Amino acid sequence: MGTYLNPGNSAFTGIRNDIYIDKSGLIELMNQTIETPRRLVCISRPRRFGKSFAAQMLCAYYDKSCNSLNLFQDLEIAGKKDFMTHLNRYDVIYLNMTDVLGETSAKDFIGFIKRNIVRELAEAYPSLIVVEGFGATLVNAVQAAGNKFIMIIDEWDAPIRETPEIQREYLEFLRTLFKSSATTAKTFAAVYMTGILPIKKDGSQSAVSDFQEFTMLKPAKFAPYVGFTEKEVQKLCEQSGTDFSEMKRWYDGYSLRGTGSIYNPNSVIKAILYSDFDSYWTESSAANSLLQYISADVNGLRKTIAELIGGVEVSVDTKGFSNDLITFRGRDDILTLLIHLGYLAYDEVTRKARIPNEEVRLEFMRSIREDRSPETIKRVQESSQLIMDTIHMNETAVAAQIEKVHIEATNPLNANNENSLRAVIQLAYFSYKDYYMKMEELPAGHGYADIVYLPRQGETVPALVIELKWNKTADTAVEQIRRNQYPEALRGFSSDILLVGINYDKDLPAGQRRYTCKIEKVNRG
């Protein structure tokens, strides 16, 4: 066993010894590509979504220097017809580019990779004829080994993300390795490459063009292996006695076509191990600080970020993104990057993005607090003041501020209905995280409350039950809250509850205030 040639199965053994979700179905998909024109596969997904676990599983399965039958015989792949055909039958060349960067200088990066792979090949196969060209030496190694190689490249994009000065040389190395389909077919039975970003573009095309790419925008058949599925999370919650409804509220939100809800594995596992629902993104910051991107001086971006925090879905044109952390032509490129980093969820049908869940929304709010731009500071101050005005039952001030947000953010109201009104309310109250947790359409009494803000643990503020009306009255909204007994569902959450009715009258002439607000207090004892 070596570092770069045939690393063995010890890493996957450690994974199996901990909380484990069976993702061995990925092996079957890779087996289907072996010795086909589809042998080059690149999968990109956010940090802490299990990329390295998948790479280590593939190493354990294909590596002929070890016997991994016991590691896989109880997993899904063991029931597939080609399970034994490929189990431990190949030499594996494994590169974790982050680890390689830590071992050498940027100047010697490519030379270091070539020297060490050739050295380990020569040690394993003394008959290997080493020639000047790296690719030609690999072809000779196939002859010496008696089999083609499985190549696994983990964190393929680390040199582009962390040391952009070597980007050109690095991409040329990959081109040389994989540019010729004839040479690739002689050397590799299959190649699995994974990272955060899709393959870097040269102009409008991928720099390494023969790879099949599966991304957060279009994961296709690899969608179930992006993260944990809802069924898998439900099973983990049952086994550990964890509240699934809270798990879903905190970590659900990425929905992939054909698979449904996908959860961040790192966050789910830590919530179970620590018995604590929280945001675990801070300790595993995705590539760079979120603040670096959302505070960029790009026209329209700050308004879009406020809309996202408020719960609004925004359209994104993902086509022009250059797949790096430097080249941003505008708002859409930054939003596309945030999708790849996992900070936004993307619907490939509607082509809209949203903040996926409570965990990530908390990270946005933390970053917003650090953004010192005058526009952002003003938004935060106004939203915080709105919450205080609501708590102190200042109906006129509440109506005025919501009207101001409506005027400044016209996009959410294009539909002219109560769903659009909900978007404006969410924008206005986007600083709620200081005091509250948000629930939308909370089942209560004889219906669903539109928006409910429940006090966070340790806060003494009243709960807010907000009912929205369109072309009616704020009094009608409050009456509906009482009639449908919404406050009854909040027993135990807070002794004080504020019933907040908000109405928007779209038929009033310009210049007249179209929003009205009614606030009543209920003490539940």
> What are the tens digits of pLDDT across the range 34-89?
999 999 999 999 988 989 999 999 999 999 999 999 999 999 999 999 999 999 99
More confident position, 449 or 146: 146
Q: Is the pLDDT of residue 214 over 70?
A: yes
Buried b (16+ CB within 10 A) or exposed e, 196-232: bbbbbbeeeebbbebbebbbbbebeebbbbbbbbbeb
- Candidates 3.30.43, 3.40.50, 3.30.1120, 3.40.1710; CATH matching 10-214: 3.40.50
Whether the CB-CB separation of 116 and 108 falls below 8 Å is answered with: no
Q: Is the pLDDT of residue 29 over 90?
A: yes
How far, in Å, are 143, 177, 287, 441, 517 from residue 131 at the CA level? 14, 15, 38, 68, 80
277: three-class secondary structure by DSSP: coil
Count of H helices and E strands in the chain? 22, 18
Give the span between the Cα atoms of 312 and 344, in whole angstroms: 12
Give the pLDDT of residue 364. 85
Q: pLDDT-based confidence at 377, cuts 50/70/90?
A: confident
Q: pLDDT-based confidence at 525, cuts 50/70/90?
A: low
> What are the tens digits of pLDDT across the range 458-503?
788 898 999 888 889 999 999 988 888 777 767 666 668 899 999 9
Between strands 447-455 and 436-444, the pairing is antiparallel
Q: pLDDT-based confidence at 249, cuts 50/70/90?
A: confident
Q: Is the pLDDT of residue 288 over 60?
A: no
DSSP bridge pairs for 149: 91, 188
Length of the chain (residues): 525
The torsion angle over the Cα atoms of residues 204, 206, 212 and 218, rounded to 10 degrees, is -50
Give the pLDDT of residue 451. 85
How far, in Å, are 315, 400, 413, 513, 514 from residue 507 at the CA level? 28, 17, 14, 11, 8
The single-letter DSSP state of residue 495 is S
Q: Is the pLDDT of residue 317 over 80?
A: yes
Between strands 463-470 and 447-455, the pairing is antiparallel
Sign of CA dihedral 179, 182, 187, 189: positive
More confident position, 398 or 202: 398
**Token pair of 328 as six digits:** 């941003």
Whether the CB-CB separation of 412 and 312 falls below 8 Å is answered with: yes
CATH 3.40.50 segments of the chain: 10-214
Q: Is the pLDDT of residue 374 over 80?
A: no
What number of other Cβ atoms are within 10 A of residue 502's Cβ? Answer: 27
Which residue, 314, 323, 309, is CA-closest to 346?
A: 314
Q: Is the pLDDT of residue 248 over 80?
A: yes
Largest CA distance in the chain: 89
**Which regions of 13-78 does DSSP assign to beta strands (E)?**
40-44
